[in-house]
Amino acid sequence: MSLWTNKDHRTEFDDADSLAYDSDGGRLKPWLVGAVIPFFIVLYGVTCLSSDETDISGPDGRVVAYGTAATGLVVAFIALGLFLHFHFFWRLRERLEPYAERLKLVSLIVFLGGFLFAIFHRLGLF
C-alpha cells in the first residue's frame, strides 16, 4: 500500500454508509451498541427535555441551547438513540427485524426534523 492511497483505510463516510446495511454482531454488540448506548442517549434527551436546556460540547467549546431550540435538539437526540436501537438491536432479532427498517427511516426523519428546526430557530428563521 502506498502512502498516497487510502485504499485499505476506512473513513467516516464508510462508517456512515455501513449504517444503511444490515448490522452484524455476536451476543455483546446488540446489547451494548443497541441497548445500553441508546438508553443513555435517550436518557440524556429526556433529562434535557425536563430542564428545557441542552448542552453540546465540541472541540471549540461548549454551546448551550435554551427553550424551543433546545426542544428541537432534544428531539434529535432521542431520535438518534432510537435509530441506534433499531439498527443494532432490532435488526439482529428475528421477530423484530421486519419492522426495523421502517422504524430506522422514521427515526432518521424525526432526527433531521428536530435538528433542522433547532438550527433554523437559532438562526431566527422560525
C-alpha 22 chain-centroid distance: 17
Q: What cell numbers appear for 108 in the block?
A: 432518521
Q: Where are the domains of the chain?
A: 25-122
**Range from 18-22, 85-89, 115-119 carrying the lowest mean pLDDT:** 18-22
End-to-end CA distance of the chain: 51
CB atoms within 10 A of CB 12: 7
Which residues, listed in sequence order, are joined to residue 57 by a DSSP beta bridge?
Answer: 62
Q: How confident is the model at residue 1 (pLDDT cuts 50, 70, 90)?
A: very low
Higher pLDDT, 104 or 21: 104
Higher pLDDT, 20 or 125: 125
**Range from 16-25, 30-39, 60-69 carrying the lowest mean pLDDT:** 16-25
Query: CB–CB of 47/78 below 8 Å?
Result: no
For the entire predicted model, the pTM comes to 0.78
